[in-house]
C-alpha cells in the first residue's frame, strides 16, 4: 500500500473521529457558557492539553523543524521564543484574565470602561489577528495535503482549502467550545505521540548520542561548524540582527495577546485550574519544542538539505514528514510509508484543531462583544447570542476560505509572524495596562488597540516583505522604506505609547473608581462567572 493511500485512510479516520466528538459534544451545548467556555467544566490537565493543541500549529510542527534543518542554530531560536512566551502568559495573563473576564478578551477591558468603544476595538483586533492566523493555517493545509497525497493542480489545492474550511465551520457551529476543546485534546495527544516516536527513532540512529547527531547534521548540511553556531541566518548584517530581535519580541509577547489562546483560560472552573492548565501547557509545549531540536537536526543529518533537495524545495515544511519516512525504513518501505502517513495525518489534525479554535474565537467576539453588548446593549438573550455566534462562524469561515484561495502564494511564516506582531502590539498593551494601571481608561484602551494594529500593519506594508525584490505582493515596484520584515520592535512600544497618551489626554473617574473592584476580582476570582460589566 502506498504512502498516499495510507495517508488518505488516516486522514479519513481523523476526520471521522473529530466529527464523532463534535456530535457528542453538541448534545451538552445548551447555554452561552457551554458554547463559549465549554461550561467551565474542563480540568486543568484537560485544558492544558487543549491549550497545547491550540498553540502547536502546523507552523510549529512543520515550520520549526524545517527552519532548524535549513538554518541550524538560528532555526532553533524559534523554539526558544515560542517556549519563553508561555512564561509571559503565565505571569501576566492566565490567572488574572480568568478571574476578571467571562467569555472574551473584551470582557476584561470593558469591566471598568465604556462598553461600546472598547468592545468594538477588541472585537476588531480579535478578527484581524484570527484572519491572519487562519490564512496561514489554511494555505498551509492546501500545500501540505496536496503534497503528501500526491494531488496536483490548482483546483485540487482549492478543494482542499474548501474542505478544511467546511470542517472548521462544522466543528464551531455544532460543537462550540466543548467540541473544539476535545478536538484539540485529541490532536495534542496525536502530535505528542508522533513527535516522541520520531524523536526516539532518530536518536536510535545515533545510539542516543546527541553529540553524534549534531556532528552528522553539521557535516551533512554542507555548512560545517557554522551550522551549530548563531548567525547563519540572522547574523548577516546589523539589519538582520535587529530584525531577529523584532521577531523575537513579537513571538515572546504575542502569545499572551493571541485571542484564541486567551479564551482558553475561561474554560476552567477556578483560578487554580487556570494556573494548572498553563503549567501543563508549558510542560507539554516545552517538551515538544525541545524535541524539535532532534527533528530538525535529525532531518539535517539524514536527509538531503541542499538547495536541490525536497526539504529546501518545500521551504522546510516537509522536513518532519520526510524524516519520518526515512527513520521508518526509507522511501518505498512499508515502515516508511506507515510513518509518513501517520505524521501526515497528525499534521492534518493539527490544522483542523487550530483553525477551529481561531474561528470559534472570532465568532464569539462578534456575537458576545458586537451583537450582544454593542448593538443590543447587553439585552440579548443567550439563545440569540449563540445563534448569532453560529451565523458569524459561517461568515468568518466563508471569508477565510475565499481569502485563502487567493492567498496560496503568500509566505506562511510571514502571515504567522504578522498575527503574533498584531497581537503583541494591539492586545497585550491594553490588557496589561488595564490590569496594572489605575488611571487607564477607555480612550487609552482604544488608542492602544487601534494604534498598535495600524502601526504594525502599516510598517509591514512598507517593509521588504510586501514590495521590492523579496516582496510577496509587488516585485516590480519598491516602496519598502521600513527595513525590517517584522515591525514588533517598533509597533509593540507604540501600542503602549498610544495607550499612555490616550489615558493622559482624557479623564474618566468612573474607570479609576472601578479599578479596585477589578483588582480584587482579578486576584480572587470573586464573581467571575457573573456579569462582567460595571
DSSP readout, 213-254?
Answer: HHHHHHHHHTSGGGGGSTTTTT-SSHHHHHHHHHHHHHHHHH
C-alpha pair distances (Å), 317 with each of 29, 64, 93, 382: 37, 8, 32, 43
Give me 274's grid cell: 487556570
Contact criterion met (CB below 8 Å) for 68 and 223:
no
Q: What is the DSSP letter of 463?
A: S
The number of beta carbons lying within 10 Å of the beta carbon of residue 237 is: 9
pLDDT at 3 over 70: no
pLDDT at 165 over 60: yes
Q: In which residue are the cell numbers 447555554 written?
A: 31
pLDDT digits (tens, 9 = 90+) for 72-89: 888 887 788 878 887 777
Give me 345's grid cell: 495525518
Query: Which is it for the CA torsion 419, 420, 422, 423, positive or negative?
Result: positive
pLDDT digits (tens, 9 = 90+) for 299-355: 998 888 877 777 776 667 778 888 888 888 877 787 888 888 888 788 777 777 788
Give me 297's grid cell: 537536526
Nearest to 77 by CA among 210, 201, 232: 232
Query: Quick check: pTM over 0.85?
Result: no
The pLDDT-based confidence of 534 (bands split at 50, 70, 90) is: very low
Secondary structure (3-state) at 531: coil
The pLDDT-based confidence of 30 (bands split at 50, 70, 90) is: low
Q: How far apart are CA 122 and CA 133, in angstroms?
A: 17
Q: How far apart are CA 532 and CA 105, in angstroms?
A: 11
The residues pairing with 467 across neighbouring beta strands, listed in sequence order, are 474
Cβ neighbours for 189, distance < 8 A, ≥ 6 positions apart? 49
The residues pairing with 298 across neighbouring beta strands, listed in sequence order, are none
H or E stretch at 510: helix 509-524
pLDDT digits (tens, 9 = 90+) for 455-483: 999 998 888 877 877 776 777 888 888 88
pLDDT digits (tens, 9 = 90+) for 95-144: 777 777 667 777 778 788 888 898 899 888 988 888 888 887 787 777 67
Q: How far apart are CA 56 and CA 288, in angstroms?
A: 9
Cβ neighbours for 397, distance < 8 A, ≥ 6 positions apart? 165, 166, 168, 169, 172, 359
Exposure string of 31-51, with b = 16+ CB inside 10 Å and e = fewer, is ebbbbbbbbbebebebbbbbb
pLDDT digits (tens, 9 = 90+) for 176-232: 878 888 888 888 898 899 899 999 999 999 999 989 999 999 988 888 888 888 877
Amino acid at each position: 500500500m502506498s504512502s498516499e493511500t495510507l495517508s488518505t485512510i488516516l486522514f479519513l479516520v481523523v476526520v471521522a473521529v473529530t466529527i464523532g466528538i463534535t456530535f457528542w459534544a453538541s448534545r451538552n451545548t445548551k447555554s452561552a457558557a457551554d458554547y463559549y467556555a465549554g461550561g467551565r467544566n474542563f480540568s486543568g490537565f484537560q485544558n492544558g492539553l487543549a491549550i497545547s493543541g491550540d498553540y502547536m500549529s502546523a507552523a510549529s510542527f512543520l515550520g520549526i523543524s524545517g527552519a532548524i534543518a535549513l538554518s541550524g542554530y538560528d532555526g532553533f531560536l524559534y523554539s526558544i521564543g515560542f517556549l519563553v512566551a508561555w512564561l509571559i502568559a503565565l505571569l501576566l495573563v492566565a490567572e488574572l484574565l480568568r478571574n476578571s473576564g467571562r467569555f472574551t478578551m473584551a470582557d476584561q477591558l470593558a469591566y471598568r470602561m465604556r462598553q461600546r468603544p472598547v468592545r468594538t476595538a477588541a472585537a476588531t483586533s480579535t478578527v484581524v489577528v484570527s484572519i491572519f492566523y487562519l490564512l496561514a493555517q489554511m494555505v498551509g493545509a492546501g500545500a501540505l495535503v496536496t503534497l503528501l497525497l500526491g494531488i496536483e493542480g490548482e483546483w485540487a489545492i482549492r478543494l482542499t482549502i474548501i474542505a478544511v474550511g467546511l470542517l472548521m465551520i462544522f466543528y464551531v457551529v455544532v460543537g462550540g467550545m466543548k467540541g473544539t476543546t476535545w478536538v484539540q485534546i485529541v490532536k495534542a495527544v496525536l502530535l505528542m505521540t508522533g513527535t516522541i516516536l520520531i524523536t526516539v527513532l532518530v536518536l536510535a540512529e545515533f545510539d542516543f548520542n546527541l553529540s553524534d547527531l549534531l556532528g552528522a547534521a553539521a557535516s551533512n548540511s554542507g555548512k560545517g561548524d557554522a551550522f551549530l553556531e548563531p548567525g547563519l541566518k540572522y547574523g548577516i548584517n546589523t539589519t538582520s540582527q535587529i530584525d531577529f530581535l523584532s521577531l523575537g519580541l513579537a513571538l515572546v509577547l504575542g502569545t499572551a495577546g493571541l485571542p484564541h489562546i486567551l479564551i482558553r483560560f475561561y474554560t476552567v472552573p477556578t483560578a487554580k485550574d487556570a494556573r494548572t492548565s498553563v503549567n501543563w501547557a508549558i510542560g507539554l509545549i516545552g517538551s515538544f519544542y525541545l524535541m524539535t531540536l532532534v527533528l530538525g537536526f535529525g532531518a539535517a543529518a539524514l536527509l538531503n538539505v541542499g538547495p536541490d533537495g525536497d526539504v529546501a524545495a518545500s521551504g522546510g515544511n516537509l522536513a518532519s514528514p520526510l524524516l519520518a519516512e526515512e527513520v521508518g525504513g526509507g522511501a518505498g518501505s512499508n515502515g516508511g510509508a506507515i510513518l509518513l502517513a501517520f505524521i501526515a495525518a497528525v499534521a492534518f489534525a493539527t490544522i483542523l484543531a487550530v483553525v477551529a479554535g481561531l474561528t470559534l474565537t472570532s465568532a464569539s467576539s462578534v456575537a458576545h462583544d458586537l451583537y450582544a453588548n454593542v448593538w443590543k446593549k447587553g439585552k440579548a438573550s443567550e439563545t440569540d447570542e449563540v445563534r448569532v455566534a453560529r451565523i458569524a462562524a459561517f461568515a468568518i469561515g466563508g471569508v477565510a476560505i475565499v481569502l485563502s484561495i487567493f492567498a496560496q502564494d503568500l509566505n506562511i511564516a510571514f502571515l504567522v509572524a504578522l498575527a503574533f506582531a498584531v497581537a503583541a502590539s494591539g492586545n497585550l498593551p491594553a490588557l496589561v495596562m488595564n490590569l496594572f494601571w489605575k488611571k487607564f481608561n477607555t480612550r487609552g484602551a482604544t488608542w492602544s488597540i487601534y494604534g498598535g494594529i495600524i502601526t504594525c500593519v502599516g510598517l509591514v506594508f512598507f517593509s521588504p516583505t510586501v514590495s521590492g525584490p523579496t516582496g510577496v505582493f509587488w516585485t516590480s515596484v519598491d516602496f519598502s522604506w521600513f527595513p525590517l520584515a517584522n515591525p514588533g520592535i517598533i509597533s509593540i512600544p507604540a501600542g503602549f505609547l498610544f495607550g499612555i497618551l490616550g489615558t493622559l489626554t482624557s479623564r474618566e473617574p468612573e474607570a479609576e473608581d472601578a479599578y479596585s473592584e477589578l483588582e480584587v476580582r482579578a486576584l480572587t476570582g470573586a464573581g467571575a462567572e457573573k456579569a462582567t460589566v460595571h
